[in-house]
Amino acid sequence: QKPLVESGGGSVQAGGSLTLSCAESGLYTVTGFCMAWFRKTSENEREGVAAIDRSGDTIYADSVKGRFTISKDNTKNILYLQMSNLEPEDTATYYCASEAMYGLCPPLNEGRPPERTDFGYWGQGTQVTVSS
C-alpha cells in the first residue's frame, strides 16, 4: 500500500485561513522526493497549486503565490498546504500527489507549476469552501 490521505478542509469566510495535511503511509514513503497539491472544480480542469522537492525547493501557481505555502515533514511523512487570505475563487476539492520515481520532480526541474502527468500517487481529496 502507498495511500495518500488529505485532511483539514472545511468552510471559511473570505480572508480566512486553512491548513491542509496529507498523510502518507506504506512500506516506503516519497515525501523526500517530489510532492504537490492540486485543486479541482466542476468547471475547471485539475490545476496544479504548488510542488516541493526533496531539498525543500518550492514552486507555485501564479494564482496562489504569496498566499499559499507548501511544506513537508519527512520524518512524519506529512505534506502541508498553508492557505491564507482565502478567496471564493479558491473553493475546490484539493488533492495531494506524490511522484515515486526516484530523482524526478519535473515542476522544480523545469521551473513550472505541477501538472497531472508529473505524479503517480493521488489522495482522495478534501473540500475547501470559501464564502463571501
Each residue's pLDDT expressed in tens, for the chain with a length of 132 residues:
558 999 999 999 999 999 999 998 765 565 668 999 999 998 988 999 999 998 899 999 999 999 999 999 888 889 999 999 999 999 999 999 998 777 789 999 999 999 999 998 899 999 999 999
CB 53 within 8 A of CB 73: no
Chain segment 44-71, per-residue pLDDT in tens: 889 999 999 988 999 999 999 999 999 9
- Give, in degrees to the nearest 5, the angle at Cα 58 between 54 and 82: 105
What's residue 101's pLDDT? 73
What's residue 31's pLDDT? 62
Give the other-Cβ count within 10 Å of 61's Cβ.
Answer: 18
Closest CA to 91 of 127, 66, 57: 127
Cell readout for 43 is 468547471
CB 41 within 8 A of CB 49: no
